[in-house]
Amino acid sequence: MTSLLEVLVTSDSNNTLWTSCIWDPHTGTSLMTYKGGGTAEAKTLSFIGNDYIAAAEKSKPILHVWPLNSQQTVQGMRFVLPGKASAVSVSIDGLYIVAGIDEKIFLWQMSSGSLLTIINRHYQKVVLLKFTPDGKFFISAAEDGMVMLWSLTTVSAHPEVDLITQSTAGQHDPVYIFSDHSLPVTDLCISKTGIHGRLITVSSDRTCKIYDLSTGEMLLNIVFDVPLSSVIMDILELNIFIGTTEGKIHQFSLTNAPRSRDFLVNTETNCPTFIAHTKAVTCLSVSVGGETLMSGSSDEQVILWHIPSKQPVRIIRHKGPITNAFFTMNFPAIYKQDFNPSIILHSLERSLEKDVDEVSEIEVLINKKIDFWPTYQENDNEYNLPSKEVENEYKLKEIAMKNELNKLKKINANLYAFSVNQTLKSVAASNDVSYKKKKKKNYKDK
């Protein structure tokens, strides 16, 4: 199975069998299941580097983390959140994690568990969080229709970080604020080039908007006749696939874009459509090869489509509505028995207010041998001593150390005996004096 180039990761709202599962997209067989995490919240399933997979539980304020080669969660640590998360994203290097809890955004450092900041700029619940591919920025979207671009460096390295309290935190300024949607944002997609590329958002207001992240300008506003629920670009970013609440997936080409910024799409005449789902399309993803489109829906089905022919190739049925589904590169750690993670995890802090006397201790385990002392070859005559001479020198040093140790032990024993004798003498003398004084007093009284 390690010869697979990419795999499919899914989760649904029915957790009777597993919380999330990894599939072989070519055969539809299950490669690995992760259990014990309840129902995964939509848009929260993420990989932590190449070692772990994480998902926020829908009914509890807990983030569940699994090693990629184990069905059980990480032992010895509980990742308790300040509240139930509605969106989670992890940076590409696995060092930072952001979570949307109500209208606030929490940012942690994974290796220390430190809560770096709490951003409070949205007015309603945050529903989407995504890092850019380079990990330097992340984007948030909420039910208030606003989309914001944040610089990770700016929000994590506050100049008065030691003076921040729970009440004064969160007043960071985003790089851009996009407030063009009039209803909740339902999904977003970022170019592979990150801040130098494009951002695509869809909303319940039936519009799909394309922005230039380098300038913050809206390039195109595509209007449909039905509320939109998901969006993705193909691998070359030449086409957009837009899922609707009706279950249809529309394809929009960017190679022949309209001249005006606002464009009304007639889905019945000039818009290629994938038709098979009966309920809202919740997840979309395109394979690395660029020929396969994956769609997950509330009708409990994951469908793999052949994009050129727009025909379903394979259907993977689930026990509940699909909450997370996407293609990802195949991880070798899934098939290994021995787990040697390169990423350090730590329990997450729930508050910004820290005790100055509290020091977090981090145990760092590495499997690399560091050659600190120089090694000398046999031809280095200056340092190459005969083995017998070295051995004799070592024995002499050992004997000298033992003699010194015995001498110190003897001195300590003598000091201890002397101090005990002196203490006993002083106690006896004081008792004798007090006895004489008492006897003299009794004689006077008589």
Calpha distance 352→329 (Å, rounded): 35
Whether 35 is covered by a domain: the verdict is yes
What is the Cβ-side half-sphere exposure of residue 180, based on CA atoms within 13 angstroms?
Answer: 20
Q: 34 and 178, same structural domain?
A: yes
410 and 262, same structural domain?
A: no
What range defines the domain where residue 424 resides? Answer: 388-446
CATH number, residue 11: 2.130.10.10
Assigned domain for 371 exists: no
> Same structural domain for residues 321 and 403?
no
My answer on whether 59 and 187 are in the same domain is: yes
Let me know: does 345 contact 51? Beta carbons within 8 Å. no
- Determine the number of helices (DSSP H) and then strands (DSSP E) in the chain: 2, 29
User: Within a domain: residue 17?
Assistant: yes
Q: Is residue 25 part of a domain?
A: yes
Q: Which among 335, 370, 397 is the end of a domain?
A: 335
Question: Does one domain contain both 120 and 204?
Answer: yes
Cβ–Cβ < 8 Å for 8, 327? yes
Neighbours of 81 (CB within 10 A): 19
Same-domain pairing of 24 and 167:
yes
Q: Which residue has the tokens 């727009």?
A: 310
Does 171 reside within a domain?
yes
188 half-sphere exposure, CB direction, 13 A CA radius: 33
Residue 267 falls inside a structural domain: yes
For residue 439, what are the contacts with CB-CB under 8 A and spacing of at least 6?
Answer: none
Task: Establish if 348 belongs to a structural domain.
Answer: no
Pick the closest to residue 131 from 178, 88, 187 (CA basis): 88
* 271 and 392 within one domain: no
- For the four alpha carbons of 177, 181, 184 and 189, in that order, the dihedral sign comes to negative
| Domain edge (last residue) among 273, 306, 335 | 335
CB atoms within 10 A of CB 403: 10
Nearest to 324 by CA among 293, 286, 282, 288: 282
Residue 208's pLDDT is what? 96
Number of domains making up the chain: 2
| Radius of gyration of the chain, Cα coordinates, nearest whole angstrom | 33
pLDDT at 150: 95
- Whether residue 172 is contained in a domain is answered as yes
| Model pLDDT, residue 421 | 85
Instruction: Indicate if 177 and 322 belong to the same structural domain.
Output: yes
- Bridge partners of 242? 231, 250
406 and 262 fall within a common domain:
no
pLDDT along the chain (446 residues), means of 10: 83 91 94 93 94 94 94 89 95 94 94 91 95 94 95 77 53 89 96 93 96 94 94 94 96 87 84 93 94 95 95 94 95 87 89 57 51 50 55 81 88 88 81 69 63
Residue after which a domain boundary falls, among 335, 368, 398: 335
**42 and 130 fall within a common domain:** yes
Task: Say whether both 303 and 406 belong to one domain.
Answer: no
Q: Do 235 and 127 reside in the same domain of the chain?
A: yes
